[in-house]
Amino acid sequence: MPAILIVDDTSVNLSLLSELLQPHYQVRAANSGARALQVAVSDPQPDLILLDVMMPEMDGYEVIRRLQADIRTANIPVIFVTSLESIVDEEHGLALGAVDYISKPIKPAIVLARVKAHLELKAARDWLQDRNNVLEVEVSRRMAENFLIQDASIRALAHLAEIRDPETGNHLRRTQGYINALCQQLKDHPRFSEFLTPQRIQLLIKSAPLHDIGKVGIPDHILLKPGKLTPPEMQIMKTHSYLGYLAIQQAEQDLEYPLDFLHLAKDIAHYHHEKWDGSGYPDGLVGDDIPISARLMAIADVFDALISRRVYKEAFTIESAVNIITQGKAKHFDPDIVDAFLVARDEFVIIAARYADSEESLISKVQQLQGVKLR
């Protein structure tokens, strides 16, 4: 049974409305504005309030203002029941949020009809709100599932390249962390703020592990060579950026609609070896012609390569790696991104330590790969 709160400072009016409504509804009464506010937040909470305007200390207009300001009572419909009959008074009450206006002396049939109509409207609104809440929960659940599937797919693709390269180890996790650190430093920079929105930063972090996906297409005798590559072999190795671009482009074409993270991943894979001065590959892009995503990855990738041991070199110290990147400012790297790197240097060091590769894990991985190759 719907609950109705009647608010009036005159006991006769309270009795009259109570007798009229009690056969049909659960009726509660308050003889002041202050008491009405207390009852409105107690159980059973009213589904509708019939509110007198002219009351001492706190009039009906102030009561409805406070009801509207409280999240617990803001959605309870209010009907003013008053002897004020001017159009101005009615408009004022409706402007404050009342759903209807009944004049005194009341006409029982009109009161019952108005109350019934507004209770039905509230029930319909509540039903729609409940349905919307259920739908929002379901949409959120499905979106979370889709993101998990998307992340798992990205990881699977990225590890496909990583499995064939014994020296990458936790490279994917580290470069994701470096990308995030750079983005946090640059998100308010005038050159980058429009691009580095919170959503795009998350997509960049998500896309970063696909930067070397093209290595899947590099022959084993080059990718797994236990030493420095010859110039011809290096030319073949360089094709991994274009191969990665082609693989992600094909994935895009197979989809019914575009995905932003794949577009970013495609740029990163294609252009993360470009250099600010145009001496990079595969297209020799210069300066701002290089996508921002690829410029960020360039520093993340080079820093990690420098501090990691390779079969053809020992790991550089952090200090040496920082010096090399600093020397590459406005040559290899975007100068503003180098500045951001220098500010975030300590965070880079923490990320590198957190996801460091052990010597044992690298040896084990090499042995596994050699075993797979022999079989």
pLDDT digits (tens, 9 = 90+) for 314-324: 889 999 999 99
User: Does residue 316 lie in a domain region?
Assistant: yes
- Pairwise CA distance, residues 88 & 93, whole Å: 9
**Do 228 and 79 reside in the same domain of the chain?**
no
Task: Say if residue 115 is in the same domain as residue 240.
Answer: no
Closest CA to 146 of 306, 261, 9: 261
Domain residues for the domain of 82 are 3-133
Q: Angle at the Cα of 48 (from 69 to 133), degrees rounded to 5?
A: 70
Domain final residue, candidates 133, 156, 178: 133
Whether the predicted pLDDT of 332 surpasses 50: yes
Q: Is the pLDDT of residue 369 over 70?
A: no
At residue 238 the predicted structure's pLDDT band, cuts being 50, 70 and 90, is very high
**Integer Cα distance of 272 and 211 in angstroms:** 7
Q: Is residue 149 part of a domain?
A: no
Find the CATH number of the domain harbouring 98.
3.40.50.2300
Phi, psi of 259 (to 5 degrees): -115, 125
Q: How many domains, in total, are found in the chain? A: 2
Q: Residue 151 domain-assigned?
A: no
Read off the pLDDT of each residue in 169-187 and give the average, rounded to a whole number. 92
Per cent of the chain over pLDDT 90 is 58
Select from 112, 133, 154 the last residue of a domain: 133
Residue 146 belongs to some domain of the structure = no
Instruction: Kindly report, residue by residue over 27-54, the tens digit of the pLDDT.
Output: 999 999 999 999 999 988 999 999 999 8
Instruction: Evaluate if pTM is beyond 0.85.
Output: no
Residue 305 burial by CB count (10 A; 0-12/13-18/19+): exposed, middle or buried? middle
Is residue 24 helix, strand or coil? coil
Q: What is the pLDDT of residue 82?
A: 84
The pLDDT score that the predictor gives to residue 166 is 57
- Write the CATH number for 299: 1.10.3210.10
Pair (276, 344) in one structural domain: yes
Domain assignment of residue 259, yes or no: yes
Q: Is residue 143 part of a domain?
A: no
